[in-house]
Amino acid sequence: MTEIVLIRHGETDSNVKGTYLGWTDVPLNETGLMQAAIAKDKLKNDKFDLCIASPLCRAFNTASIILEGRDLKIQTDDRLKERNFGVWDDLTFDEISHKYPEEHKKWMVDITNYEVEGGESFRGSYDRIAEFVDSLVKTYKNKRILIVTHSGTIRKIFAYLIGLGIEGVWRFKVDNASINKIEINDEGYAFIAALNS
């Protein structure tokens, strides 16, 4: 049995504002730091074989707080980053529609495949994360893995592993600093063991 424990980073000011936060590297706010400390306490008795985090500071710092005092190195992987929103990064929906009206219309016509200028499409980010999952499951079979990353990334991992595909990504809501678990048996069958705990 392979167990993957997925933690979303703690809150940021951009989360409070409600922006499309992708690769813009913003820090945790005070609430986010407190949320990470609470996650650390919840996981204090859990043992992990490895930890992989998004290199963006909001995820990496959440992982650092959770693993404080443990002898476990944090690996980083760029494939765990949130979707790259390019020129729209860290803007709200209203800001995008007003600053980029023509591009916004094209996005609304094909949300899955529209590629933001300087960024990536929803499908592009899904495929990147699916590639990461395939290599992870193959390389670390029967391990207990801690992953600290982003809401969109966790939702894509869940949808991919349980066979919902790209359309299923929207079926999940992942809270800041929440603990989420997915288990994969020896036959490769995955099931969700915890969501937002």
Q: What is the pLDDT of residues 140-156, one digit of tens each?
A: 999 999 999 999 999 99
Q: What is the pLDDT of residues 84-143, one digit of tens each?
A: 999 999 999 999 999 999 999 999 999 999 999 999 999 999 999 999 999 999 999 999
Average pLDDT, stretch 61-82?
97
Query: Beta partners for 191?
Result: 183
Q: How much is the pLDDT for 12? A: 98
Q: What is the pLDDT of residues 26-69, one digit of tens each?
A: 999 999 999 999 999 999 999 999 999 999 999 999 999 999 99
Q: Delineate the domains of the chain, giving CATH numbers in brackets.
A: 2-85+121-194 (3.40.50.1240)
pTM of the entire predicted model: 0.96
68 is catalytic: no
Q: How much is the pLDDT for 22? A: 97
Which distant-in-sequence residues (6+ apart) come within 8 Å of 96 by Cβ? 20, 88, 103, 104
Catalytic residue among 9, 11, 120, 150: 9
Q: How confident is the model at residue 82 (pLDDT cuts 50, 70, 90)?
A: very high
9 is catalytic: yes
Catalytic residue among 30, 68, 82, 150: 82
Distance CA 147, CA 57 (A): 14
Q: How much is the pLDDT for 60? A: 98
Burial class (CB in 10 A: 0-12, 13-18, 19+), 42: middle
Please name which of 190, 109, 107, 85 lies closest in space to residue 145, comparing C-alpha atoms: 190
Distance CA 57, CA 33 (A): 12
